[in-house]
A and B are shown apart, each in its own frame.
Chain A
Amino acid sequence: MNQPRSAKLTWLLIAIVGALTVCPVVMLALGSFSEGLTAFGVFTVDKYVGAYTDPAFRDVMLNTVVFVVCSSVLSTVLATFLAYLNTRTDIPFKFLFGILSIIPMMIPHLLFSVSWALLLNPSNGLLNLGLKEAFGLEEAPLNIYSMWGMILVEGLLDLPIAYLIIAPAMASFDVALEESSRVSGASAWKTLFRITLPVLRPAILAAFILGVVRSLASFAVPSVIGMPGRVPVLATHLYEMIATGFATDYGKAAAVGMSVLAASVTLIVVYRALTAESERFVTIAGRGFKSTVIELGAARMPLFAIVGVLSFVLIVLPVAVLLYTSFVPYSMVPSARAFSMMTLKHWRDVLGDPISILALKNSLFLALVGATLGVVLSVFVAYVIVKVKTRAAGILDSLSYLSFSFPGIVIGVGFMWFFVQTPLYSTIWALLLGYIATYLPYGIRPMSSAFIQIHSHLEESSLVCGASPFVTLKRVIVPLLIPGIVSGWILLASMFVRELTLSVVLSRPGTEVLAVQILRFSEDGLWGKLSALGIVMIAITTALVVLASWVGGRFKTAWGR
């Protein structure tokens, strides 16, 4: 590749990605030292003093730490357990594990949280109503609006991503390490704890840290489950400062946000180091070794029952509850009477509600346009990161990874400080830019793996054949990239359809989006309308995911192998 040309491209991309990712951070920092949105640049430290001496702040911090650590432990332990069962034992129906790992694509976190609230809220949760009827109880036995409820739901939500990190590491584990332990006289259990888990430690730790980052940034669970139960964590604490009450205070929010961001960035740096290490640790080139399968024997069915219950809880239950709620006029336990009373009222209400329709249109626009722009940018960035490999390309790599650590609500505050200074404020373009900046790493990743698969000889031989770099791009690189482009596009689009945390800050009247509208319904307790709109959202994302696997499959068969 022509060196000066690729250097120019690298610096152009650094400028674009830098503007997208560094700008909100800088604005957040400046904003935290400013008087207010309208008094930007008037220096003050009052916001820090106010935010961190607030007597409520200590409780918020404590709650946050408990919530974040416990939910991450839950997701990591469950993921390790599932990964071990799938990769190393003879558990039946292994396809379920694959389904379990792509669920986050299908069911938005917000709706997952809502479905648990519908089941277990103390006033009319379906499960609570059922238990009260069955045992003649006066009070609801379970209350999801509590710390344990938040931990449970967040832990389940982060389970698939932890599984996706741990399972491949376990699958590529060299069995000889274990076998030599067994030969040396260690029992299966001893080998598990002395050899298997220690060797996998980087991957397990990485999964835990990613869990911490994600639960720290999580807004769906704290808002839907934590707020009614008055369990504030940092995300909802921030949200209260900017979205509720009479005096919104973006300066104070920025001051608190700075420490959330700092924690998040630090954790992601640690995470990257760990994943790099785990790749080094467990890289056994495909020598075609076959991992020995551990026979579970009598424990096979009970263990499978656990997996079955988890799959049911993660996949079937949320959708079933939402679907059911969207058709019954008010909360009631499923019964013959409930089914006879089913109505399309909520569906008609939602589809006749101008704001819901506007939200639907906005979300679709953001998904289609945003994903397209995001993918175009990702293609160039991934190209430079994978193929150019200069020091500047390294900078771009780090820059593009930065937004991976952005907690949506915090970065939303940063963007707010920025957009208020521009005519973009309260337009759909503000959301568009924010989405692309925050979710860029998700577009870049499938693209870089696509580029990595394209051996540099394929490109070089085109140049030697006399094709210019442009013709090479058009005739060799892009056709080989199409599967990556398609899956990157779908990934971004389905994330944009359900985007909540950033939108909750940046969305204004006129720029409502689906998730924000659903949150409003949830705050007002309009469960029927919420469920109907939620089903629409799930339908859109599911359609996108199915389309992705179909298109990907077609290209795969078209090119063989």
Chain B
Amino acid sequence: MEIRIRGVSKHYVSEGKTIKALDEVNLTIPARKIFTLLGPSGCGKTTLLRCIVGLEMPDTGEISIGDELVWSREKGISVPPEKRGLGMVFQTYAIWPHMTVFDNVGYPLQVRGAPREEVRARVARALEFVQLAGFEGRPATRLSGGQQQRVALARALVAEPRVILFDEPLSNLDAKLREETRKELRAFLEKLQITAVYVTHDRVEALALSDSIAVMRAGRIVETGTPAKIYFDADDRFVADFIGRANLVNGRVRGEEGGLTVVDCPLGAIACQRREFPAGGEATLCIRPEFIHVARGEAPAGRNVVNGRIESLTFVGEHFETEIRVGENTLLARVDADAKFGVGDAVSFTLDPAHCLLVAA
């Protein structure tokens, strides 16, 4: 079920100040895909999700789910959340503490007046799907965090909603469980072939889980694309910086050479992935630490060859994180855990143009 959002704005008044939570958001969320709204806290992603589900009302704009217009201030349409036929997993899971697992999961069917037998069968199926078969009689208060999360998912799925929405559902789990649950969730959703909207501030979660990501900032959608596009080929400096660790170096575009865009920057003349930037204009060069492959000693000058000196080394377990000084700049890079480098060593590296990304300054 496709979700279309047109010109949606929402503002809050807090302590006399007006805060724009959503600022003219236009977005189409494709059907049967996992779509993630990613952004730092306070960027409006949760507000947007709550507007879709109907728990909050935008000031302007229109929202439609499938063919149905569910919100339009201009046309005076406001479908309440209980009539939108959606499923949602809340950040706190919102498992009702006074009910059993069965009642929690069966609730969406019960309130729609489904016959008892059908409720029982469908709850059993939903619980089996989330691998909690046989948990029906368990009181909700006697569930672990991971189990609560799965009960919440079963409840969101049981009525076969048109769309399922997730509001940071993994943020309350510990790191290890979060990774496992993320994989499970991905598998569940792939099996279901359902439209899913997922809100998170965790870029790894977004990259691992999504078919498509929209990065938000200050109430606006900055960029939308596949995880690979967002990670390797972002158009926006904020997105490039937010989605992963990045070295950002300011430079000036020299022009095109052999299908690559060359930029003059403190690292020298660097050939980058081709981008439509006017020659002479300013641009920012973005290099991810994992693509800087450091070699010992100075290297003769060449295309995209950079010489520097190790300024610091931090052992983080899997590898060393190192800062390499190149002139005025320091670049973050990775060194293998067994490499024998010392602070002050002269090093060099060659940048692959495919991993040199130019974004607007």
Contact = CB atoms under 8 A, between A and B. Distances in A.
B108 A465 contact: yes
Interface stretch (B93-101, B202-210, B220-228, B348-356): B93-101
Interface of A: 2-3, 455, 457-458, 460-469, 471, 475-476, 479-480, 559-561
B92 A455 contact: yes
Contact of A559 (B54, B141, B156): B141
A467 B114 CA distance: 13
Q: Which 5 A-B pairs have the closest CB atoms?
A: A560-B141, A457-B94, A465-B108, A461-B94, A467-B111
A3 B159 CA distance: 26
Contacts of A458: 94, 96
B139 interface: yes
A355 to B, nearest CB: 47
Contacts of A462: 96, 107, 111
Interface string B52-64: 0111010000000
21 contacts: A455-B94, A457-B90, A457-B94, A458-B94, A462-B96, A463-B80, A464-B54, A464-B81, A464-B84, A464-B86, A464-B88, A465-B82, A465-B107, A465-B111, A465-B155, A466-B111, A466-B112, A467-B107, A467-B111, A480-B96, A559-B97
Contacts of B96: 458, 462, 476, 480
Contacts of A455: 92, 94
Nearest to B111: A467
Task: Give the interface SS of chain A, mostly helix, strand, loop or mixed.
Answer: helix
Contacts of A463: 54-55, 80-82
Find the residue from A465, A479, A560, A561 having the highest chain B CB count within 10 A.
Answer: A465
Contacts of A464: 53-55, 81-82, 84, 86-88, 156
A2 B91 CA distance: 22
Nearest to A476: B96
Contacts of B142: 560
B266 interface: no
A465 B97 contact: no
Nearest to B106: A465
B229 to A, nearest CB: 31
A479 B81 contact: no
Interface residues of B, number: 32
A461 B88 contact: yes
Contacts of A468: 82, 111
A476 B91 CA distance: 18
Contacts of A457: 90-94
B151 to A, nearest CB: 11
Contacts of A561: 141
Given A460-B94, A559-B141, 17 more contacts: A457-B90, A457-B91, A458-B94, A460-B90, A461-B94, A462-B107, A462-B111, A464-B53, A464-B87, A464-B156, A465-B107, A475-B111, A476-B96, A480-B96, A480-B98, A559-B98, A560-B139
A466 B107 CA distance: 9
A561 B142 CA distance: 10
Task: Give the interface SS of chain B, mostly helix, strand, loop or mixed.
Answer: loop
B85 interface: yes
A466 B85 contact: yes
Nearest to B167: A457
A5 to B, nearest CB: 10
A315 B345 CA distance: 79
B121 to A, nearest CB: 18
Contacts of B57: 3
A559 B87 CA distance: 26
Contacts of B155: 461, 465
A377 B2 CA distance: 45
Given A465-B107, A465-B159, A460 B81 contact: yes
Contacts of A479: 98
Find the residue from A460, A471, A559 having the highest chain B CB count within 10 A.
Answer: A460
A467 B141 CA distance: 22
A560 B97 contact: yes
Nearest to B92: A457
A375 to B, nearest CB: 19
A473 to B, nearest CB: 12
Contact of A466 (B55, B82, B152): B82
Nearest to B57: A3
Contacts of A466: 82-83, 85, 108, 111-112, 159
A461 B98 contact: no
A2 B80 contact: yes
A468 B54 CA distance: 13
A457 B152 CA distance: 12
Contact of B90 (A461, A471, A475, A560): A461
A389 to B, nearest CB: 12
Nearest to B81: A463
A462 B155 CA distance: 10
A48 B139 CA distance: 65
Find the residue from B80, B98, B108 having the highest chain A CB count within 10 A.
Answer: B98
Nearest to A478: B98
Interface string B219-240: 0000000000000000000000
Find the residue from A463, A471, A476 having the highest chain B CB count within 10 A.
Answer: A463
Find the residue from A461, A471, A476, A480 having the highest chain B CB count within 10 A.
Answer: A461
B300 to A, nearest CB: 57
A458 B87 CA distance: 14
Contacts of B108: 465-467
A480 B141 CA distance: 13
Nearest to B139: A560
A3 B94 CA distance: 22
A356 B179 CA distance: 72
A466 B142 CA distance: 25
A253 to B, nearest CB: 44
A464 B91 CA distance: 14
A455 B95 CA distance: 10
Contacts of B80: 2, 463
Contacts of A560: 97, 139, 141-142
Contacts of B88: 461, 464
